Amino acid sequence: MSYRTLLQHSNRMLDSVRNEDWEALIELEIEYVREVERLSQTEDQVELNEDQQLEKLTLLSAIMEQDREIREALVARRTMLEQALTSLNTKQKLEEVYRN
């Protein structure tokens, strides 16, 4: 059940990334971390049969693939922001030179 919930959180996070809704992503990541913490505290107490273990593996694989896509999008976003800051700094330096 908890891995399904994690996948649902991951789906929403991926949707936020694809829609470039960075504020929503932050909120969803907070929920995701809470769910991971809750899961880590209770997982030891649950024994899974073979079918449940297969389902867990399938869910984890999907979560990991989505995590990869989210990370790639965040790296691209960071690169874009770095370029924008560099451009802004250059513009400010040029304006300062022209004023002096």
The confidence band for 76, taking pLDDT boundaries of 50, 70 and 90, is very high
Q: CATH top-level class for 2-72?
A: mainly alpha
To the question of pTM greater than 0.85 for the whole model, the response is no
The candidate with the shortest Cα–Cα distance to 67, out of 39, 28, 95, 40, is 28
Length of the chain in terms of residues written: 100
Please state, rounded to an integer, the average pLDDT across all residues of the chain: 92
Give residue-wise pLDDT tens across range 1-10.
689 999 999 9
Give residue-wise pLDDT tens across range 8-42.
999 999 999 999 999 999 999 999 999 999 998 88
- Show me where the domains of the chain are located: 2-72
Cβ neighbours of residue 5 closer than 8 Å, sequence gap 6 or more: 35
